[in-house]
Structure formats: C-alpha cells, structure tokens
C-alpha cells in the first residue's frame, strides 16, 4: 500500500513541475538569481531566518537586535522587484500546494469528524 501512495506522490510531483505556477516560479527565481544585489539580500534573509529558527528550536531567546536585523533585511527585500515578483509566485505555489494538501488529507478529516 505504501508503494501506491509513494507512486501517487511521485506522479503529483511530476504534475506540479508541469504547472504554469511552478514554471512561473522557476522563471522568477532565475531572474532573481541574475540580479546579484537582490540575490545577495535574498540569501541573507534566508540565512537570517534559518538562524532565528535554530535559536527558537534550541530554546534561546530571540533578541530585539535579532528582530531588528530581520526587519531591516525584510525592508531591503521589499526594495527589489525581482524579490517581490518571486514572493508573489511563491504565494501562488503555496496556495496550490495547500489546496492539494486539503484534498489529500480529506479522508483523515472525514474520519475524525464522523
């Protein structure tokens, strides 16, 4: 049975890669990658977010300085159209994945709501 689920998941992966939303996201990411300044800010933001997550997961307090740094990076990100375009495409992909997740998990919701 697990093989069937894995096969269906692999098929879904292939379908997702073929969607306009994924193709658009790929184009936006490639455009970001070509904009060196924007890409550097984007990578710094990702690294900062990873560091904050690690602090939280290890029980460390996130300081005001940490939050200020994250906010400064977020403000910088908003100054680049390539990053804003990528974020819009990510939002569309996220919605598509959320919708698929709702369909996939419907049997569980039905089970627990019966």
pLDDT in tens, 30-75: 999 999 999 999 999 999 999 999 999 999 998 999 899 999 999 9
Angle at which helix 81-104 crosses helix 106-113, to 10 degrees, equals: 50
How far apart are alpha carbons 86 and 84 in whole angstroms? 5
Q: Give pTM, 2 decimals.
A: 0.82
How far apart are alpha carbons 72 and 66 in whole angstroms? 10
């Amino acid at each position: 049975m697990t093989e069937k689920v894995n096969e269906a998941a692999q098929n879904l992966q292939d379908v997702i890669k073929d969607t306009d939303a994924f193709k658009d996201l790929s184009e936006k990411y490639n455009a970001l990658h070509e904009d060196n300044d924007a890409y550097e800010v984007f990578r710094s933001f990702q690294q900062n977010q990873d560091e904050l997550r690690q602090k939280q997961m290890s029980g460390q307090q996130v300081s005001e300085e940490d939050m200020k740094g994250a906010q400064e990076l977020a403000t910088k990100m908003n100054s680049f159209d390539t990053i804003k375009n990528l974020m819009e495409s990510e939002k569309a992909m996220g919605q598509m994945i959320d919708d698929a997740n709702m369909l996939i998990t419907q049997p569980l919701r039905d089970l627990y709501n019966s």
